[in-house]
Homo-oligomer: A and B are copies of this chain.
Amino acid sequence: MAERERIRITEVGPRDGLQNEARAVSTDVKVAFIDLLSASGVAEIEVSSFVSSRWVPQLGDASEVFARIQRRKGVTYSALVPNEQGLDAAMALASPPDKIAVFTAASETFSRKNTNATIAQTLERFAPVIRRSRDARKPVRAYISCAVACPYEGPTDPQNVRSVAGKLLDLGVDEIDLGDTIGVAAPSDIDLLYEGLAGLLKPGQTTLHLHDTRGTALTCAYRAFELGVRSFDSSCVGLGGCPYAPGASGNVATEDVVYMLEGMGVRTGVDLDRLVDCARLASTLVGHEVPSKYYRAAIGARSRASSAG
A residues near B, CB below 8 A? 183-189, 212-216, 218-219, 222-223, 242, 245-249, 253, 255-256, 259-265, 289, 291-294, 296-297, 299-301, 303-304
Contacts and interface: CB of A to CB of B under 8 A. Distances in A.
A239 to B, nearest CB: 15
B186 A300 contact: no
A213 B242 CA distance: 23
B293 A260 contact: no
B303 A213 contact: no
9 closest A-B pairs by beta carbon, nearest first, are A186-B263, A215-B293, A215-B256, A188-B264, A219-B219, A245-B297, A246-B300, A245-B300, A214-B294
Interface-central residue, A188, A215, A289, by most chain B CB under 10 Å? A215
Contact of A246 (B263, B264, B294, B304): B304
B189 A297 contact: no
Contact of A297 (B187, B248, B263): B248
Contact of A215 (B185, B242, B253, B304): B253
A253 B249 CA distance: 15
Contacts of A212: 293
A232 to B, nearest CB: 13
A219 B265 CA distance: 16
Per assembly, the copies of the chain total 2
Contacts of A296: 245, 247-249
Given A248-B293, A249-B293, A293-B248, A216 B186 contact: no
A301 B188 CA distance: 23
Contacts of A219: 218-219, 222, 260
12 contacts: A183-B297, A186-B260, A187-B222, A188-B263, A214-B259, A215-B255, A215-B260, A218-B218, A218-B219, A219-B219, A245-B301, A291-B293
A227 to B, nearest CB: 12
A292 B189 contact: no
A80 B293 CA distance: 28
A292 B186 contact: no
A213 B262 CA distance: 16
A148 to B, nearest CB: 10
